[in-house]
Amino acid sequence: MAGGRTINVLNVAEKPSVAKSVAGILSRNQGLRTRDGRSRYNRIFEFNYSINGRPCHMLFTSVTGHLMELEFEERYRKWHSCDPADLYQAPVRKFVPEDKLDIRRTLEEEARRCQWLVLWLDCDREGENIAFEVVEVCTAVNPHLTIRRAHFSALIDREIHEAVQHLVEPNKWFADAVDARQEIDLRIGASFTRFQTILLKDAFIIDSATDDRNLVLSYGPCQFPTLGFIVERYWENQAHEPEEFWTINCSHKSDEGIATFNWMRGHLFDYTCAVIIYEMCVQEPIATVTKVRQQEKLKYPPYPLNTIELEKRASRYFRMSSEHTMKVAEDLYQAGFISYPRTETDSFSQRTDLHAIVQEQQRHPIWGSYAQQLLDPGAGLWRNPGNGGHDDKAHPPIHPTKFFSGENGLSQDHHRLYELVVRHFLACVSQPAVGAETNVEIDISGELFSASGRVILSKNYLDVYRFESWGSSLIPTYVSGQQFTPTSLTLDSGVTRPPPLLSEADLLSCMDKEGIGTDATMHDHIKKLLDRFYATKDSNTRFSPTNLGEALVMGYDDMGYKLWKPYLRAVMERDMKAVSEGTKSKAEVLLTSLQQMKACFLDARLNKVKLFEAMGIFFERSNRSGGDEQHAHGEVVRQCGLCQESDMVLRRNRDGNFMVGCLAFPQCRNAIWLPGSVSEAVVTTDICNTCTPGPVHLIQFKFRQLEIPPNYNANHLGCIGGCDEILSQLIEICGTGSRVPARGRGSTASSSGVQQSNSRPGEARRSACIYCQQTVHSSSDCPSHVSGSRSAQYRGMNPQTGDSSIPCSTCGTPCTLRTANTVTNRGRKFYSCPSQNCNFFVWEDNLNNGTGGRSVRSAGMNISASNSRRSSSRGRGGRGGAHAASTTFVSATGDPISGRRCFVCGDPSHFANACPNRGS
DNA sequence: GCAAGGTC
């Protein structure tokens, strides 16, 4: 085998930089000649080498990624040339596009005079596919070529020399998997894009686009799930119903400073329960220190930097878009300042000379001294970097490759990104920060509170990684068993907040987690959503869907298709894996996958009215198209009391359930959900003579008899204005047809079963009372709507007792059974006195087990109150008047205050939580 | 005028 005639070997890498590196390594830069090819970027390197003892003249060149593209044959290229459904079987072909023709010419010219072709493409599926594209071009001009594949996992001498001595066959399965992916993406993308663009573009006045003639309503298996993440979070954000909660805070001031103790229960949603616990604490406000724990805490530096992490951090630290970040990183890479920026790898190979990279930075005026310290063994700052667990086997983590003093003409963003890469790298090879933490737990009347303080002992990596911080806080010294009187003990209220809109970093995380796009393309998908007017990004890098984006997702969602979810991509990814492992053939996957997608496409087209309806919610119809699809507007019931601009109309929601909603949706989200048992509803010309502001049209309802209690009539002429007891009861009994989670329509039913909601972005929302439209209370607490007759009508509804009301033990008014809707007690039944001046309150299950009005259960703990009236203190401070507990309150200073008063200032008109002097 | 994936 050794010796023999010298052969010419054509070597092809995926990109010019790899061709240069590998040629340099193999030639050891001895006798390496370089010349231009046909393409200005892809030079040709020449040197002599020997493979397995055989003398070779090596020609080393490159492509720039894929050499070929997949397209439909000419006659299917024009949008109106065929039915989009035909695109599932229209013939496709691979071809070398115009801008790659010069690369093809280089390959052809060099291949003609070679005997071997060695493929040095990246070792992943795409790389293998590109390898076959190169093979196709080269064997077309020289069918006698011997084809070989080099397998290498890093551009390191030993790897490369080993790879060339152990050449293998290229892997067709890998290439097939990519072929299948390309074909499926093309057919789905083109068919849905043409379909929805042609259907909707001219049918509506889509004002988001500057020039809607060029508007393309694209669909893609990556861009739509990315939009889906944004819309879904937006809906969660909009649907959030703020819920009030209660927490007890304690502080203690001593000569050494202040400690703030947090209630270890966190917070409770049940005011009654919180206030009882609070009162118990206030009764005996002596804190006993139960635990003092001191321990060393480490804060570790980040893992080595890969592409997604670079994008996320640049977004977080500099608010740079991922797309811009990659452009800047590419410039820095081209200029030789940083390593290859498209990498999944977040761990350094053991062979990387990390010290040499640090040495380069020693002369930097700002972080140079830190680099020097790192290299000083006496300083003990060095630590081998962590392993993030990802390795694409092609590139190292992003790191600085050359010292950049900053004086050349690059922009501020280039400087900032270079700084991030350098500081991140220096942080990675540094010791973690060390802190001493103290945790103190105290007990007040059986309730536990904790406080913590931290002292930073050594900042280590935080000295160079200025983007991260670790706060320190001092608290006084405590010893176990010590007792003290708190300086303040307050019952504070708060409200739950909606989940925030997705930031760019969040969005990248979602995509990464669900496998949408690759590290090199994620930023493209995000940018595409902005370019297509599907989403917008605010100054805080948070994404919201535009009306267009929301309407499209809503339309497909209404069809019941999860085309906007990541599942489709996940299924495709599984199929690709099966092809690359040889367990499924490319043909098999293409056949089944395209069959399913075509069926889905045809079905979506049958249901196009859903897309129309969704678009109709947000956009006006244009007269440019025939307008064959009717957009049902519904019949007017009354004027909207919330926006006071539009009418409330009777409609069916997409599940077929009836609702009365504001025509101004989505600007106004006011809605009244009707009982799920309504089978028919028609707005009549009859006007309600009690409800104001009028006119409120009565609705003729027909209920499904089996779904309502026997004593109710299936036919009912009802009013949604608030006067209709029967309707309210049926809503309470049967529930409504609202969907959970709803898209901004309120996600939980209130105890009356009637939901009202109205939200605009950035505006906090509170349910409005159905009866009087006020927002200060919910419908169940409406003062205009409690009457003695109400409880009478409930009689006979409870089969166990035969009576669902009990007399109030205080004032005798009948109390009706209601259902709680708090997080801690959702679904639990209770009685409460409807009288405005009375606060009697008791859980139904406590009545049944004989503890009526005596105990409140929450958070898995039973707390018995000594005074039965205490549990009646519902509502906020000041409402307790008639039933004030006769407990003795003790102020924080230990002075007794008799009667039910604010323990901060002693004023009987309010409680401490509402005290204007609190905190002073 | 359409996708997503390489890369310049």
Catalytic residues of A: 340
Asked if residue A884 is part of any domain, the answer here is no
Residue A326's nearest nucleotide, by CA–C1', is B7
- Which of A167, A222, A219 shows the shortest CA–CA distance to A198? A219
Q: State whether A114 and A129 are in the same domain.
A: yes
Nearest amino-acid residue to B5, taking CA and C1' = A126
CATH number, position A131: 3.40.50.140
Residue A66's nearest nucleotide, by CA–C1', is B6
Output the pLDDT for position A599: 94
Gap from A227 CA to B2 C1', Å: 17
> What is the torsion angle, in degrees rounded to the nearest 10, for the CA atoms of residue A359, residue A361, residue A362 and residue A363?
130
Residue A518's nearest nucleotide, by CA–C1', is B5
Asked if residue A918 is part of any domain, the answer here is no
Phi then psi for residue A98, to 5 deg, are -45, -50
Gap from A395 CA to B8 C1', Å: 18
Nearest amino-acid residue to B1, taking CA and C1' = A216
Of chain A, the end-to-end C-alpha distance in Å amounts to: 92
Phi then psi for residue A464, to 5 deg, are -100, -25
Asked if residue A883 is part of any domain, the answer here is no
Chain CA centroid to CA A696, Å: 41
Asked if residue A894 is part of any domain, the answer here is no
Gap from A187 CA to B1 C1', Å: 15
CB A414 within 8 A of CB A462: no
Gap from A346 CA to B4 C1', Å: 24
Asked if residue A289 is part of any domain, the answer here is yes
CB A227 within 8 A of CB A535: yes
pLDDT in tens, A671-715: 777 877 887 787 776 788 888 888 888 888 888 877 777 788 888
- Gap between the Cα atoms of A734 and A728, Å rounded: 10
Phi then psi for residue A177, to 5 deg, are -60, -45
Q: State whether A820 and A858 are in the same domain.
A: yes
Q: Is the dihedral of CA A549, A554, A556, A562 positive or negative?
A: positive
Output the pLDDT for position A808: 62
Residues of chain A with pLDDT under 50: 1, 626-633, 654, 738-803, 820-826, 836-840, 849-904, 912-913, 918-920
Q: State whether A690 and A777 are in the same domain.
A: yes
Output the pLDDT for position A395: 81
Residue A80's nearest nucleotide, by CA–C1', is B1
Q: State whether A784 and A716 are in the same domain.
A: yes
Q: State whether A149 and A14 are in the same domain.
A: yes
Q: State whether A49 and A118 are in the same domain.
A: yes
Asked if residue A572 is part of any domain, the answer here is yes
Output the pLDDT for position A728: 77
Asked if residue A745 is part of any domain, the answer here is yes
Output the pLDDT for position A763: 28
Gap from A72 CA to B4 C1', Å: 15
What DSSP assignment string belongs to A506-527? HHHHHHHHHT-S-TTTHHHHHH
Gap from A717 CA to B1 C1', Å: 54
Q: Which two tokens stand for residue A149?
A: 């594949």
Gap from A512 CA to B1 C1', Å: 30
Residue A215's nearest nucleotide, by CA–C1', is B1
Which bases of chain B are under 7 A from a protein CB atom? 1-8
Q: State whether A214 and A286 are in the same domain.
A: no
Gap from A195 CA to B1 C1', Å: 12
- Which of A264, A285, A248, A265 shows the shortest CA–CA distance to A486? A285
Q: State whether A527 and A606 are in the same domain.
A: yes
Domain limits at A749?
A: 635-868
Residue A178's nearest nucleotide, by CA–C1', is B5
Q: State whether A438 and A423 are in the same domain.
A: no
CB A367 within 8 A of CB A422: yes
What angle is formed at CA A351 by the lines to CA A348 and CA A352, rounded to 5 degrees?
55
CB burial class (10 A; 0-12, 13-18, 19+) of residue A393? Answer: middle
Q: Which helix (H) or strand (E) holds A830?
A: strand A829-832
Q: Answer with the one of A431, A446, A464 that is the final residue of a domain.
A: A431
- Gap between the Cα atoms of A37 and A62, Å rounded: 10
Output the pLDDT for position A14: 94
- Gap between the Cα atoms of A775 and A765, Å rounded: 9
Q: State whether A610 and A660 are in the same domain.
A: no
Q: Answer with the one of A574, A595, A620 that is the final residue of a domain.
A: A620
Nearest amino-acid residue to B6, taking CA and C1' = A65
CATH number, position A382: 1.10.290.10
Q: Which two tokens stand for residue A143?
A: 């069918």
CATH number, position A545: 1.10.460.10
Residue A15's nearest nucleotide, by CA–C1', is B7
Beta bridge partners of A298: A434
- Gap between the Cα atoms of A60 and A314, Å rounded: 36
- Which of A784, A841, A783 shows the shortest CA–CA distance to A811? A841
Q: State whether A147 and A13 are in the same domain.
A: yes
CB A347 within 8 A of CB A387: yes
Q: State whether A756 and A820 are in the same domain.
A: yes
Specify the number of domains making up chain A. 5
Asked if residue A916 is part of any domain, the answer here is no
Q: Answer with the one of A170, A188, A213 that is the final residue of a domain.
A: A170
Gap from A791 CA to B5 C1', Å: 68
